[in-house]
Structure 1
Amino acid sequence: MNQAATISAAVPADVKAEAAAVAAAHGMSLAGLVRELVARVAAREAETLAWLDEARR
């Protein structure tokens, strides 16, 4: 199974475009942005977790 295609297909185009713009603004690739976010969540960084919780409300 190609997980990258499955994940990519599940993300709406406007969300991908916004994420790509954020990544570009920080001088990183979209993959780099995703890795950074995953690392911060895995480290249970309080600021990132609070931001994610707020976004869910």
Structure 2
Amino acid sequence: MTTKTVSAAVPAAVKAEAAAVAAAHGMSMAALLRELLARVAARDAETLAWLDKARR
């Protein structure tokens, strides 16, 4: 799936809310996404393993 496809699949209201949260924390959308994934992974060993495998 390309970035364009992922972006097109996200409703505008969700994008706007995510942008507001990112701005409130002084971070980019990419940094917000990384932070969210890290927090999910930290609580879920299977997700963490999946992310580690994807990085290799």
Deviation at 1:6, TM superposition (A): 1.3
Q: Please list the CA deviations of residues 4-49 of structure 1 after superposition, one character each: whole Å capped at 9, or x if unmatched.
A: 111101100111011000000000001110110001111117xxxx
User: What is the distance in 2 between the residues matched to 1:44 and 1:9?
Assistant: 29
What are the ranges of 5 or more consecutive residues in structure 1 without an aligned counterpart? 46-57
Taking structure 1 as the reference length, the TM-score comes to 0.69
What are the ranges of 5 or more consecutive residues in structure 2 without an aligned counterpart? 45-56
User: What is the distance in 2 between the residues matched to 1:38 and 1:4?
Assistant: 17
> What is residue 38 of structure 2 aligned with on the other side?
39
> What is residue 20 of structure 1 aligned with on the other side?
19
User: What is the distance in 2 between the residues matched to 1:35 and 1:18?
Assistant: 16
Q: Give the aligned length.
A: 44
Give 4+ residue runs of structure 1 displaced > 4 Å after superposition: none
User: What is the distance in 1 between the residues matched to 2:30 and 2:5?
Assistant: 15
User: What is the distance in 2 between the residues matched to 1:7 and 1:32?
Assistant: 17
User: What is the distance in 2 between the residues matched to 1:5 and 1:42?
Assistant: 25
Give 2:42's aligned amino acid: A
Sequence identity, in percent? 77
Give 1:9's aligned amino acid: A
